[in-house]
A and B are shown apart, each in its own frame.
Chain A
């Protein structure tokens, strides 16, 4: 069974400051990793994903994440945040077994940008 841990439930950051949202996962098999963003009253939107290849992946809105297999982490970063980045961010994992496409989500991190 897989699990995802997002240690920070809330992260306040000043506008134009950098941010890192932490994600650790646990799985007995190789995994695919995702970050989704949920803006207020909206559905989930994919920010970025790691399927294979380079461990540093770039996504939309200037976000990037690095897959670290030895630390079982997939932390999300942005060098300079904007007010519009205020949202809930979810890390998710899916195992590599074909036919098992369910996403297992973390509890989410609420990012609040302070003007």
Chain B
């Protein structure tokens, strides 16, 4: 069964460093998302991406964050200068169609645990 994959599974970085989290969505999917889950808290929406542009972003997704689909298969989340509070599990998700479709479902990857020291 097709699945969303994410690399790395765990990333440790120092405060102020740039990190890139990588995701490979399911191949025929058109909509892409990033969420994060700080330890012990709920899953929070960061950004959605469609047709090579951001369709929606949350207040969390400030200028330090960016997303890209560089080659038609990968979907990346970049954090330019990491802060301690960026430590969280980051989930990538994808869906084949818009919310109005009867088969709508967001498929989630296993996550990347980011630890900022």
Q: Which residues of A contact B (CB under 8 A)?
A: 32, 36, 41-46, 49, 51, 90, 92, 94, 96, 98-108
> By the criterion CB–CB under 8 Å, are A103 and B56 in contact?
no
When distances are taken between beta carbons in the complex, the residues of chain A under 8 Å from B104 are 32, 49, 51
A32-B99, A44-B91, A49-B104 given as contacts; is B55 within 8 A of A99 (CB)?
yes
Selected contact of A98 from candidates B43, B100, B106, CB within 8 Å: B100
Name 8 interchain pairs, CB-CB below 8 A, sorted by A: A42-B110, A43-B4, A51-B104, A96-B100, A98-B100, A102-B48, A103-B35, A105-B43
When distances are taken between beta carbons in the complex, the residues of chain A under 8 Å from B43 are 44, 90, 92, 103, 105, 108
Which of A41, A51, A92, A107 has the most chain B CB within a 10 Å cutoff?
A51
Which of B33, B99, B107 has the most chain A CB within a 10 Å cutoff?
B99
Looking at chain A's contact residues, the main secondary structure is: loop
> By the criterion CB–CB under 8 Å, are B48 and A101 in contact?
yes
Task: Name B89's closest neighbour in chain A (CB-CB).
Answer: A43
When distances are taken between beta carbons in the complex, the residues of chain A under 8 Å from B31 are 101
